[in-house]
Each structure stands twice: as structure tokens, then as C-alpha cells.
Chains A and B, each alone.
Chain A
Amino acid sequence: DSGVTQTPKHLITATGQRVTLRCSPRSGDLSVYWYQQSLDQGLQFLIQYYNGEERAKGNILERFSAQQFPDLHSELNLSSLELGDSALYFCASSVTGEVNYGYTFGSGTRLTVV
């Protein structure tokens, strides 16, 4: 167990729907990162939050949004889902806003859009 908790583990939904993925970082970690892993694209950075504030943004679609709450858990909201959004979504956390020593990843949420 890495200490980073992601729920749900699996999610099956229909095109056009909206889902929310949840992440609780390791105790003491202030920064949360979201990544998408698909077969054709590999691991792609989506967004980073540090202590409630957005710190860095990757190629995140406008249909996707995220936030980090005062208790430091984070949610990734995916709307108007398309078949191509099917992927593994990983959350990672680190103590500071810097990635000097690597992230700690959670086990991921597998999203299937049908």
C-alpha cells in the first residue's frame, strides 16, 4: 500500500456522462498530481495541485477539471465522456510542490466508457 488512496478502483459509464474520481494523498503530502495512462499514449500529466492551489497544468481537456480541498484530498471531474477517455487515471502525491524525489502513485481508477 503506497499510502495514496484512489476511489473507485473501477468505473464503467456511458458516453456523454460525467464522473468524479477521488484521491487522498499520503499523510503529510501537500501536492497532488493527476495522470492519465492509455495504451496508445502512455502516462500523460494532467494537472498538479499544491496545498489547494493549481500549480501546473498539462494537456488536460476542457471537459476535465480538478480541485484540491482543504483536507488535501483531490477530485478529478470528467464530463461529456467519450470512448477515447477510457484509461487508467492515476493520482500521485509528494510532500512539497517539487518533484525532486519522485511521486508516490496510487493504484489508479480504471475508467471504461461504453
Chain B
Amino acid sequence: EDQVTQSPEALRLQEGESSSLNCSYTVSGLRGLFWYRQDPGKGPEFLFTLYSAGEEKEKERLKATLTKKESFLHITAPKPEDSATYLCAVRGGMFSGGYNKLIFGAGTRLAVHP
């Protein structure tokens, strides 16, 4: 069964304190791994798509990397405005509702304090 596990569940950082969020996945043939940011009461906002092991994408203080079994979201010198829940998702396989279904992890709640 396709599955996404994110850790830690919650992370508290001081402003400027870099860290990484983990996303472990099990899927029958990876067809894309997605990172989203979700603010309270709002819809998820697309950040990155990664397709193959070794691929990296960057956006401001965020960098996403991908291996064959997991992805990391590195946050460099975070600011309070980076506080949000970060969601990881993979495209579903043939037997889990189709390739256009995204299977989401439970997310990591990030709080960055001044």
C-alpha cells in the first residue's frame, strides 16, 4: 500500500536555526513527490515537485531533496513567517486510486520563534 510518513510531527525553531523535515515514502514506482505548505485555515500551497533520486529544488530559504526512499525539506536560517504545516505527498500508484491522486503525509507543524 502506498504510504507517506513525515517526521517530526512538530518542530520548534529559533529564528536563524536551520533544520530539516523528513518525508519517507512507500509507493509502487515513484511518479512524483510533492511538497506543500499549509497555513492555518487555508488550502495547501504548492512548493516543489521532485521526480528522481538526486534531484534538488530550491525556493528562498527552502531546499527539497529526494532519495529512493525519502525526501528532505531543508530550511536555512528560518524566519517567523516560515511557520506553517509542511505537507509531503506522492502520486498514487495504479492500485491506490489512480496516478492523479496525491497521497499526503500527516505533515510537520513548524513554529519559528523570534
Contacts and interface: CB of A to CB of B under 8 A. Distances in A.
A66 to B, nearest CB: 14
A70 interface: no
Contact of B45 (A2, A43, A48): A2
A104 B101 contact: no
A98 B100 contact: yes
Given A43-B87, A99-B32, A102-B34, A56 B43 contact: no
Interface string A43-71: 11100100000011111000000000000
Contacts of A15: none
B101 A58 contact: yes
Contact of A58 (B45, B91, B97, B99): B97
B72 to A, nearest CB: 18
Interface residues of A, number: 29
A102 B57 CA distance: 14
Contact of A55 (B36, B45, B92, B100): B100
A90 B43 contact: yes
Nearest to A100: B32
Interface in A22-55: 31, 33, 42-45, 48, 55
Nearest to B44: A105
A76 B98 CA distance: 20
B99 to A, nearest CB: 7
A105 B43 contact: yes
A43 B45 CA distance: 13
Nearest to A33: B100
B43 A107 contact: yes
8 contacts: A31-B100, A43-B87, A55-B98, A97-B100, A98-B100, A100-B49, A103-B102, A104-B46
Interface of B: 32, 34, 36, 41-46, 49, 87, 89, 91-92, 97-107
